[in-house]
A and B are shown apart, each in its own frame.
Chain A
């Protein structure tokens, strides 16, 4: 099977851009990715594009060129970009195309996501009575996790502080004001134990990635980044998942993040001990802590010590969310996972500037998780 490699990445800054349509942000990101790869739009043979707010993201062809290219819309909630990348890579692996693109774009209104529960197949009373908030799940999952594994409130604050500090060094990030752990702990509780500065916010932005066959990469770049594995998993019966009015008693069942992670490691022939830099879904500070363990990067409870030691800092043993993560960048759903891959590609090329991790990183890891209990993992290497 032919391997897919990434030859170009493009990122429109994440933030708020009044008056600028999501499709224009997407087109900017695509042009950056094309320029990075040294190709032009008519050369792109196929692609996948994801958005939550834009009903027809494939209308982006009107901004880029009406070449007749097959551009398929995809959506898997917060894991959307994982699907776009997986399918764009698959099109190369199967020989359908030689040069493909994955695009994500979004433009969310301010505040927590609001939707009728019927969009998730849940009865109306669940929303009317104030239970249909994904943030409840994050508060409840980390509360239980802290109880079982001895994670402190201070550790939550350290994670948030780290990600804002990393964002401060990233000119394309959104929340670039560093906050001390003390300042994070002084912000109001939104969903106990999670506080205002421990949450990411939905915002605006776009990203794109150009891929080609590995055996043609030399035509475009001296530093291709290999797509070693992509995996998507949905929730299994018995797992504690977002938007669940109930779930069965019995032995705990692993989250889809654990399932996707194991599958990706196996496909890649790479283990968690090989990962040099990781981008993990940090919808909130608690999620980053839990996802470290769910992705095999540490054992449950080890985060308390690892984070106190600075292991997940840019200069640490296992840097996590070096560009600021979701906390520092916000979450335009369709683009979020492509932003993660953009960062990993810069780190593996050694071009991440002031936030470049030391040494010669060879393996990067990205992870997404979101409603209705879906997770996507991508493993990349030099």
Chain B
């Protein structure tokens, strides 16, 4: 049985996974070179409105992290009713930016500031019709995820 998946939003990361390597879709200011994520039409450094798409690095290092141990207020959160704690962090993509993301490892004792991380996708919730909604996440570099195995 194949599970239908859809991205939580268009234009956030490359999709579908079979079409291209997974990357976050950012933007780069054509005037001052500032890299933004999500892609921004206007530059917050030089106020230029000329930008181009930039696919961001899929590897970086963990700059900081925390955990989410209670179900966030819903709305806006639309994750499953049965709550499983998750972790979030900022991953430094060298020369580009620090991006906030969910982490595949939810145990803070197994996370370490400075560790290598790589981009992946996670199905963070399931719609009533069974469609998995997928968002981007970062995994410790040595680990691969369930969603990725399904997608490949």
Contacts and interface: CB of A to CB of B under 8 A. Distances in A.
B102 A114 contact: no
A186 interface: no
Given A136-B66, A139-B67, A245-B38, A192 B108 contact: yes
Interface stretch (A117-125, A224-232, A327-335): A117-125
Interface residues of B, number: 49
A249 B45 CA distance: 13
B99 A130 contact: no
Contact of B72 (A125, A133, A144, A249): A133
Interface residues of A, number: 39
Interface string B81-96: 0000011111011111
A116 interface: yes
B12 interface: yes
Contacts of B8: 125, 128-129
B45 to A, nearest CB: 6
Contact of A124 (B9, B68, B99): B9
Contacts of B113: 143-144, 147
A128 B67 contact: no
B108 A248 contact: no
A249 B96 contact: yes
Nearest to B37: A246
A112 B34 CA distance: 34
A144 B64 contact: yes
Contacts, number: 127
- Most chain B CB within 10 A, of A111, A128, A193, A248, is at A128
B49 interface: no
Contacts of A356: none
A51 to B, nearest CB: 20
B70 to A, nearest CB: 6
Interface in A286-316: none
Contacts of B86: 130
- Most chain A CB within 10 A, of B26, B72, B125, is at B72
B76 A128 contact: yes
Contacts of A114: 72-76
Interface of A: 111-117, 123-125, 127-133, 136, 139-141, 143-144, 147, 188-194, 237, 240, 244-249
5 contacts: A125-B135, A143-B113, A240-B90, A246-B100, A247-B90
